[in-house]
Amino acid sequence: MSTPNKRRAFSLEFKKEVIDAAEKNGNQSALARQFKIPESSVEIFSKSKNQFSKQLQMEKRVLVMVLLRMKL
Q: Whose CA is closest to 41, among 66, 60, 71, 18?
A: 18
Q: Does position 2 have pLDDT exceeding 70, yes or no?
A: no
CATH of 12-71, one of 3.90.550, 1.10.1760, 1.10.150, 1.10.10: 1.10.10
Task: Render pLDDT for 14-67 as a digit per residue (tens, 0 to 9).
Answer: 998 999 999 898 899 999 999 999 999 999 998 888 887 788 888 888 888 888
Measured CA to CA in angstroms, residue 36 lies from 5, 10, 12, 15, 62 at distances of 13, 12, 16, 13, 30
If one counts every other C-beta atom within 10 angstroms of the C-beta of residue 27, the result is 13
Q: Check: pTM over 0.85? Answer yes or no.
A: no
Domain ranges, ordered by start, for the chain: 12-71
DSSP string, 14-46: HHHHHHHHHHHS--HHHHHHHHTS-HHHHHHHH
